[in-house]
Structure 1
């Protein structure tokens, strides 16, 4: 199972961003979407995560059309997004950033939420940062916290928007290893990136978004 996108289209007013896009990402696979700035790559991710509404089409995850889901807990268990600028809450510690949504949605008791957060932070080798605030972290550490937060709801599909855009080469390689490991655990991964080297390193499939269409690169 995994993600199946069928004929989705999106416009803002008279501006057509993309038109009748269809693609699939199997569980355990990594899809990279390349394309120039302004082609709609981030909008595509936002549509997949229901942060923007598509004009038409269907998005299936493990056979279920998420466009028909209303329950935030159910949507969160289906798909997550790691934002380009991390979008961490600046007034909350690392641990609080990870636990605020699961506690609000009441997906498990608070003790189990805390235990899960600690386990994920340890797996990403930032367990010593749990009481720090975002301003105290490096770019790579912020990226790992954002990944940890996205993993708290166990999404079947995880999307990354330009995950290496502000990182040096060594840190980018660490993020590459983390993304590959998540795929090995069975997640379907979608990465939007300008980083061609990074894309070639991690992807099972590369698509290029251009003029509102997706074209296969490999």
Structure 2
């Protein structure tokens, strides 16, 4: 993660893989418990064509999981087992990285900070239940925008939402293709790689005490 040459006027931060983390071993455990082939949950639920519909709002959470169930169930008699496995997989909210959340909250005293995520229609309730939106209240969810990273439309919509020129926003994301997509249209972006590198990047934003108080 590079140290920035200029100070950003707004921060856009990814959710999953940065602020929130999920148990990557859960799917295998559930597959084993339900007698499903390893990798079958991801193959069904995260198939690019289906996931794209979910994160752009063309399918809501229930519709996405229902269609994933159809794909996971090899025969009609197996649908109940597939539905139970997917419900168990989708249920956990994940865990919050409070160190990252704290760093973003400090920066938010100086410049606008928003979460920018390729999420489903359930994302708002998840972050509310996890207490994230009590700290960072601005969420830009691809399912509500109708476009997902790395499309330029979602980056432009995010900058407009914050009222800051696109080239003065900074995207922090753990997916290289999303970082590349932002950079292609002139939005500074860095690849998240951990706490220490994030601290160095956020050092480009002035300390609120030195900046003379919170942003307006």
Give the TM-score, by structure 1 length: 0.27
Give the TM-score, by structure 2 length: 0.28
Q: Name the structure with the higher strand share.
A: 1
**Rg comparison, structure with higher value:** 2
Q: Name the structure with the higher helix share.
A: 2
